[in-house]
């Protein structure tokens, strides 16, 4: 949603972030009416987003995919609401809003690192922002030659879960209230236990309380769970010899024995280089091996115009 004009520029802007860059045909992602819903953290306009198997849309790739996500572009003609006091504009769709994703069309997209015509457009797994690089060469791919992954790191908690503001019966996540804990809960941990915790329930955000401890958390699946002893499970990736680039939250890890969709969920002792990281649980690699991290996935779009760092460029599906 564009705000009121409050400044003037010497030269006109090339376009508006997330808007059409031409009158050429465009196509939206096929879905039933009301089937695509913005996720619990909202969806940012002008970026890429993934629709998960339940129709929940998120800018975070691996969290939304669950092995079956569809990638699309978030165009600016969406029902965004300005909720910040005295704000003149917003680029975020509020949670629970019915929305549309586009998989074809000419649009304006912002590139923090700049872009050059004929480069391929990549979508950042962490937040859906655009990156430009040569086809088949995902940007920023750090690796470690002595990496290990240990599964089943746990914290034990006493907690209850309640649905968060259901919207037309859609799953917008749940609120987990932790009243006691042994250990800590990293963002991205998988919750289990009790009598009714839904398989795959993931911690998305801490809303209040002691970081990683007693407090209130947003989880991925709406459900009702009475106070019970639950387990938070995650994997630990140890980067012992980082050689190129930096690891980031949201990166997908790959290697000969690494399970598909193993994602860096949060920092533990590592902050981008050597250290430990919380990752999606699912596999254990005890023998050091080369592990690569991919920051972004290649999209069908190409860069059509030049953009300096932080500027807009026209992108198109050829």
Does residue 9 lie within any of the structural domains?
Answer: no
Does residue 222 lie within any of the structural domains?
Answer: yes
Q: Are residues 192 and 287 in the same domain?
A: yes
Does residue 91 lie within any of the structural domains?
Answer: yes
Q: Are residues 105 and 225 in the same domain?
A: no
Q: What is the pLDDT of residues 191-200, one digit of tens each?
A: 998 778 998 8
How far is Cα of residue 176 from the mean position of the Cα atoms in its chain? Answer: 20
Q: Would residue 62 be called left, alpha or beta, if left means φ above 0 and alpha means ψ between -120 and 50 degrees?
A: alpha
> In this model, does residue 78 exceed pLDDT 50?
yes
What does the pLDDT read at residue 185?
A: 92
Q: Give the total number of structural domains in the chain.
A: 2
Q: Which of 297, 280, 67, 258 is nearest to 144 (CA)?
A: 258
Q: Are residues 99 and 147 in the same domain?
A: no
Does residue 252 lie within any of the structural domains?
Answer: yes
The percentage of the chain sitting over the pLDDT mark of 90, rounded to a whole number, equals 36
> In this model, does residue 64 exceed pLDDT 70?
no
Higher pLDDT pick, 13 / 264:
264
Given pLDDT bands bounded at 50, 70 and 90, which one contains residue 313?
A: very high
Q: Are residues 172 and 134 in the same domain?
A: no
Q: Are residues 98 and 187 in the same domain?
A: no
> In this model, does residue 134 exceed pLDDT 80?
yes
Does residue 98 lie within any of the structural domains?
Answer: yes
The answer to whether 290 and 240 have CB atoms below 8 angstroms apart is no
DSSP the chain: ---------SS--S--TTSBSSSS--EEPP--TT--EE-TT-EETTSEEEE-TTSEEES-HHHHHTT--EEEE--S-S-----STT-S---EEPTT-B---EEE--EEEEETT-B-TTPEEEEETTT--EEEE-TT--S---EEEEEEEEEEEEEEEEEEEEE---BTTB---EEEEEEEEES---TTPEEEETTTPPTT-BEEEEEEESTTSSEEEEESS---EEEEEEEEEEEEEEES-EEES---TTPEEE-TTPPTTEEEEEESS-SSSSEEEEE-SS--EEEEEEEEEE-EEEEEEEE-S-B-TTEEEEEEE-
230 burial (CB, 10 Å; 0-12 / 13-18 / 19+) is buried
What does the pLDDT read at residue 171?
A: 57
Average pLDDT over residues 132-140: 86
What does the pLDDT read at residue 3?
A: 61
Q: Are residues 311 and 274 in the same domain?
A: no
Q: Are residues 215 and 132 in the same domain?
A: no
> In this model, does residue 167 exceed pLDDT 70?
no
The answer to whether 5 and 89 have CB atoms below 8 angstroms apart is no
Given pLDDT bands bounded at 50, 70 and 90, which one contains residue 159?
A: very high
Does residue 279 lie within any of the structural domains?
Answer: yes
> In this model, does residue 249 exceed pLDDT 80?
yes
What does the pLDDT read at residue 168?
A: 46
Find the Cα–Cα–Cα–Cα dihedral 120, 125, 129, 133, rounded to 10°. -20
Given pLDDT bands bounded at 50, 70 and 90, which one contains residue 116?
A: very high
Q: What is the pLDDT of residues 21-34, one digit of tens each?
A: 999 999 999 988 88
Higher pLDDT pick, 250 / 134:
134
What does the pLDDT read at residue 39?
A: 82
Q: Are residues 145 and 276 in the same domain?
A: yes
Q: Are residues 169 and 284 in the same domain?
A: yes
pTM across the whole model = 0.76
What does the pLDDT read at residue 169?
A: 46
Q: Are residues 287 and 163 in the same domain?
A: yes
All residues at 6 or more sequence positions from 134 whose CB lies less than 8 Å from its CB, including other chains: 119, 120
Given pLDDT bands bounded at 50, 70 and 90, which one contains residue 170?
A: low
> In this model, does residue 86 exceed pLDDT 80?
no
Average pLDDT over residues 158-178: 76
The answer to whether 315 and 109 have CB atoms below 8 angstroms apart is yes
Q: Are residues 181 and 43 in the same domain?
A: no
Higher pLDDT pick, 121 / 241:
121
Higher pLDDT pick, 44 / 195:
44
CA distance readout (Å), 18 to 2, 12, 92, 163, 178: 11, 17, 12, 32, 39
Does residue 133 lie within any of the structural domains?
Answer: yes
What is the overall mean pLDDT for the chain? 85
Q: How many CA atoms lie within 13 A of 125 on its CB side?
A: 26
Q: Domain span at residue 211?
A: 140-294
> In this model, does residue 2 exceed pLDDT 70?
no
Does residue 65 lie within any of the structural domains?
Answer: yes
Q: Are residues 74 and 193 in the same domain?
A: no
Average pLDDT over residues 208-232: 90
């Amino acid at each position: 949603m564009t705000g009121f004009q409050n400044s003037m520029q010497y030269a006109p802007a090339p376009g508006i972030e997330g808007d059409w860059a031409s009158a050429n045909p465009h196509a939206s992602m096929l879905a039933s009416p009301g089937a695509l819903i913005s996720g619990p953290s909202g969806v940012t306009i002008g970026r890429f987003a993934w629709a998960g198997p339940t129709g929940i849309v998120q800018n975070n790739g691996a969290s939304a995919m669950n092995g079956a996500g569809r990638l699309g572009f978030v165009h600016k003609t969406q029902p965004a609401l300005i909720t910040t006091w005295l704000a003149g504009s917003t680029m975020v769709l509020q949670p629970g809003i019915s929305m549309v994703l586009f998989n074809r069309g000419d649009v304006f997209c912002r590139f923090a690192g700049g872009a050059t015509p004929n480069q391929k457009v990549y979508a950042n797994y962490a937040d859906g922002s655009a990156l430009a690089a040569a086809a088949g060469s995902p940007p920023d791919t750090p690796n470690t030659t002595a990496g290990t992954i240990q599964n089943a790191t746990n914290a034990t908690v006493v907690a209850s879960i309640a649905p968060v503001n259901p919207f037309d019966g859609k799953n917008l996540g749940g609120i987990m209230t932790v009243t006691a804990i042994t250990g800590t809960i990293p963002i991205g941990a998988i919750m289990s236990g009790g009598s009714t915790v839904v398989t795959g329930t993931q911690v998305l955000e801490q809303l209040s309380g002691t970081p990683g401890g007693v407090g209130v958390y947003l989880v991925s699946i709406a459900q009702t769970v009475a106070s019970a002893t639950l387990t938070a499970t995650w994997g630990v990736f140890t980067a012992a010899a980082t050689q190129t680039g930096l690891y980031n939250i949201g990166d997908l890890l790959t290697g000969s024995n690494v399970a598909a969709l193993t994602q860096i969920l949060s920092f533990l002792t590592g902050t981008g280089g050597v250290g430990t990281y919380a990752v999606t649980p699912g596999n254990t690699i005890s023998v050091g091996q080369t592990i690569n991290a991919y920051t972004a996935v290649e999209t069908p779009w190409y860069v059509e115009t030049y953009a300096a760092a932080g500027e807009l460029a026209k992108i198109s599906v050829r």
